[in-house]
Amino acid sequence: MTIHLAIILPLLMAALIPFIYKLFTKIKIGWLILLVPVTVFILLARFIPLISSGETRTYTYEWMPSLGINFTTYLDGLSMIFGLLISGVGALVVLYSIFYLSTKEALHNFYCYLLLFMGAMLGVVFSDNLMVLYAFWELTSVSSFLLIAFWHHRRASKAGARKSMLITVSGGIAMLAGFIMLHAMTDSFSIREIIAEMPALTNESLFIPAMICVLLGAFTKSAQFPFHIWLPDAMEAPTPVSAYLHSATMVKAGIYVVARLTPVFAYDLTWFWTVTIVGLITLFWGSFNAVKQTDLKALLAFSTVSQLGLIMSLFGMGSLAFHVDIDASTIIYTQAAFAALFHLMNHSTFKGALFMMVGIIDHEAGTRDIRRLGGLLTIMPATFTIAVIGSMSMAGLPPFNGFLSKEMFLTSALKVAEFDIFTLSSATALVPVIAWVASVFTFIYCMIIIFKTFFGTTEKLPQDRHIHEAPIGMLISPFVLVFFVIAIFFFPNVLAKYILAPAMLSVYPGLASMTDMTPHVYAWHGFNTELWMTIGVVVFGFVLYATLSKWRNIYNTIPAQFTLNNAFNRVLAEGENVSSFITKLYMTGSLRHYSLYMYGFLILVVGSYFAFSDTFRFSMENNAEIHVYEVLLVLVMAVAAVAMLFAKSRVTATVLNGVVGFGISIFFVIFRAPDLALTQLIVESVTTVLFLLCFTYLPTWKPEKTSHRQKMTNATISILVGLLVVAVSLSVLYFNEFKTISSFFENAYELAGGKNIVNTILGDFRAFDTMLEVVVLCIAGIGVYTMIKFRTKKGDDRHEN
Amino acid sequence: METLMILLIGVLVSVATYLVLSRNVIRVILGTAVLSHAVHLLILTIGEVKKGEAPLLGNQTADGPYTDALPQALILTAIVISFAVTAFVLVLAFRAYKTNGTDDLEKLRGDEHD
């Protein structure tokens, strides 16, 4: 139940915030909010000893048991890592935001969204049920949307929020489809049950589609190429949000799903190729583009994209372990996944600190543009310390934790290059090359962060404000994070043993024992290839940084209209254009067109049925005999009807309509229907009078200005409809298999005490129809009355609603 | 007889369709009136015609078999309803003309920016 509590607590608090905000307007509610992540962190930390011994905990709360959807939480090593990250970084971010945001902001909204996000994120990582996971997944998208657009009076905030919403939710829908496919294959929504069943199902036709769909969801959320374009735009959010959502937690939800579902999909090599290649492309593209950014937050956004690609590619490489026999000697294959988990932790520490550092600079100097910054070293020494430690760790230099994970990354990349049992060694040989080039670019942008911001002259700084060191409250959180950056470097194996090792069991369930899969992390591992690569990165990085102005122009070689952002905008705009074009094509506003569609559809469906199936039947066997006067009557009616079309005046047309009506009443007489004849006579008279009455108020007929072509179309459609009715009616008439039930109504006198059968049907047997028919008449009467009586006066609004 | 009636109904339906497709409001309403005539006739024709006496019990001169009474009851209901609708639509056309100043359906397309 504890884990349920950890998920519910932030959500509950989010619901309570409006009341708290009303009650205590004076205090900064951030201090109260701070209790939530701290409580969650402590709750989770209590489980660390248990988890590190390889045990897991499952709790089930029945939600929709009939559908197999239960709110099941599953606490194991992997969810523990994420749980600690979410609550730990969450606490630091809340603390930071207390000093970052002024009391003039809509703080209740901010913390409500933030807690909503925290609860949703905890829900994602602890859910064992795919449907519940998806529900929380979308909740993170929604709350992230709200947080990005926190300053909703800014146009860029709204645009960024819309973009991230569109991309992440599209991916989320794809993931839902993937989950449903998994359910179709295994008949279960529980991740653990699916993992148990999956090895036998790799040949299912749904296996690859499910993998692609799930990966789409993971890639969009984790800003992988080419879906990374939303992340730089999401930097319009307040900096605490960027630090929390867009570096430490939400963007790692996709990583989490990949790690969690590795044992589901990794039995097929497609998984290895897709995840690794997409990760590597993202790694390179992110680091390459980060160098050209002039906004510090945009630079950090691209660096986040790049680092996420690194983690993603490591999980891809780690999935190779599913294709070899694992024991203590083959630790090199599982090491990639270990490095991924390790770097995941490290990235959260240094990237969170870097974002907070940028927030401080923005807060104090009023700008984040590196072209306007410089020489802050003496003004803000504490901030500089954070920046140096964070950047050096990101660049992968000792003595910071990024060094360790980068070395492990290079080791894995080299091992994958040797992994040639699939005779594709030439392709995998590229992996360490890309990794190395990306590391060089990473080094360059880390140099940019430090030197462009803190060194040089102070002349370019905004002169209108007094820049000074940040208040102590803003510095606490980044300092805690950089403390971890250093501490993890010196004591990596503490983290490895208690936190990371049990997570390895989640990624590789049942493959080997925990200790077999967990490498011992050495800060110093001798003069091997990895170290030489790192030295090469530093050397080349320095050279390239020094000559930055000379080669910077290569970023301008790609014209603006070929960028991914532009493509995204074009697709949206073109989609709008095309749909409005198509809509305007058929939604003409003309009643005639709509009628034509309906008749055309009728002809198409019923007519083609008649044309392509042998349905039409015709026989005159059972017909009643015909008298001459009946033929005459039919001819008169047909001529009258056709003459209506050519009538020059409306009175003629009305009278001709009357001829048809009275002809019908004569037919009613011939067909032995006295009541009908009576009613028809009266109704026809009244209708004719009504028509004539209306003509007093309506203009006379003018010759219709219809083109010849339109007339031909109308005539063709009309004749086809007539033929269709004839064909259907004749076929129906031929179909004479069931006896009529009317002999029952011949008991009218015995059952209802009436001798007029039609009247007893109307008044006794089927009186309900009659009642409602009276209601129809009533409503029509009321309608006519109100239409004539109530009219809008001149100058009134013509629209009632 | 039935075949002949159905041919007549086909003519009526064609005429009604052509009227409904025209631009003038009154022509459209006339079209619906003709269409309801056609439908009433069709209901009656599909039931057997002229195969017996009028459905009135206790008629001294003739004692069964009777024609089918059920379609007759249905048509009676339909006649009244179509009359109510026709009356309503006529008044609607009148009001529409008073408000908009035209009886041309091609011009009655609603506001562009509604």
| Chain B residues in contact with A721 (beta carbon < 8 A) | 13-14, 17
Pick from A706, A724, A757, A796 the residue to mutate for testing the B interface (most B CBs within 10 Å): A757
- Judge contact between A233 and A160, C-beta under 8 A: yes
**What is each CA distance from B46 to A270, A314, A666, B41, in whole angstroms?**
65, 76, 18, 9
Cα radius of gyration rounded to whole Å, chain A: 38
| CB contact (8 A) between residue A589 and residue B40 | no
pLDDT of A790 reads 78
Please state, rounded to an integer, the average pLDDT across all residues of chain A: 86
| Chain A residues in contact with B10 (beta carbon < 8 A) | 722-723, 725-726, 729
| CB contact (8 A) between residue A788 and residue B91 | yes
Say which residues have a Cβ less than 8 Å from residue A726's Cβ, sequence separation at least 6: B6, B7, B9, B10
| Chain B residues in contact with A690 (beta carbon < 8 A) | 86-87, 90
pLDDT of A792 reads 61
| Chain A residues in contact with B36 (beta carbon < 8 A) | none
Q: How far apart are CA A406 and CA A2, in angstroms?
A: 36
Calculate how close chain A gets to B32, using CA atoms only, in Å: 11
pLDDT of B61 reads 60
pLDDT of A329 reads 59
Summarised one tens digit per residue, pLDDT across range A233-260 is 898 889 999 999 888 888 999 999 999 9
Minimum-distance CB partner of B3 among A620, A661, A756: A620
Minimum-distance CB partner of A723 among B10, B83, B87: B10
Q: What is the mean predicted confidence (pLDDT) over A352-357?
A: 92
Range of weakest confidence among A16-25, A67-76, A157-166, B26-35:
A16-25
Query: B105 touching A, CB under 8 A?
Result: yes
Angle between helices A77-100 and A331-365 (to 10 degrees): 10
Instruction: Tell me the percentage of chain B whose pLDDT exceeds 90.
Output: 46
Peptide bond into A471 cis (omega under 30): no
- The shares of helix, strand and coil residues in chain A, as percent rounded to the nearest 5, are 75, 5, 25
| Chain B residues in contact with A668 (beta carbon < 8 A) | 44
Say which residues have a Cβ less than 8 Å from residue A474's Cβ, sequence separation at least 6: A96, A99, A100, A356, A359, A360, A363
Calculate how close chain B gets to A722, using CA atoms only, in Å: 4
Minimum-distance CB partner of B73 among A626, A746, A766: A766
Sign of CA dihedral B36, B42, B44, B49: positive
- Judge contact between A279 and A310, C-beta under 8 A: yes
Long-range contacts from A576-585, C-beta under 8 angstroms, 24+ separation:
none
Residue A532: pLDDT band with limits 50, 70, 90: confident
| CB contact (8 A) between residue B58 and residue A749 | yes
Q: Which residue has the tokens 């039409």?
A: A616
Summarised one tens digit per residue, pLDDT across range A68-120 is 888 989 988 899 999 999 999 999 999 999 888 887 888 888 899 999 999 99
| CB contact (8 A) between residue A706 and residue B91 | no
pLDDT of A305 reads 93
pTM (predicted TM-score): 0.81
| CB contact (8 A) between residue A733 and residue B45 | yes
How big is the A-B interface in CB pairs under 8 Å?
271
pLDDT of A514 reads 67
Summarised one tens digit per residue, pLDDT across range A622-647 is 787 888 888 999 999 999 999 998 88
Summarised one tens digit per residue, pLDDT across range A147-167 is 999 998 989 899 999 999 999
Calculate how close chain A gets to B102, using CA atoms only, in Å: 8
Calculate how close chain A gets to B59, using CA atoms only, in Å: 9
Sign of CA dihedral A517, A523, A527, A532: positive
pLDDT of A801 reads 43
Q: How far apart are CA B33 and CA A17, in angstroms?
A: 64
Calculate how close chain B gets to A612, using CA atoms only, in Å: 22
| A600 burial type by CB count under 10 A (0-12 exposed, 13-18 middle, 19+ buried) | middle
Q: How many CB atoms lie within 10 A of CB A268?
A: 18
Range of weakest confidence among A39-43, A161-165, A429-433, A589-593:
A429-433
Q: Give the total residue count for chain A.
A: 801
Q: What is the mean predicted confidence (pLDDT) over A277-282?
A: 91
Residue A325: pLDDT band with limits 50, 70, 90: low
Sign of CA dihedral A427, A432, A433, A438: positive
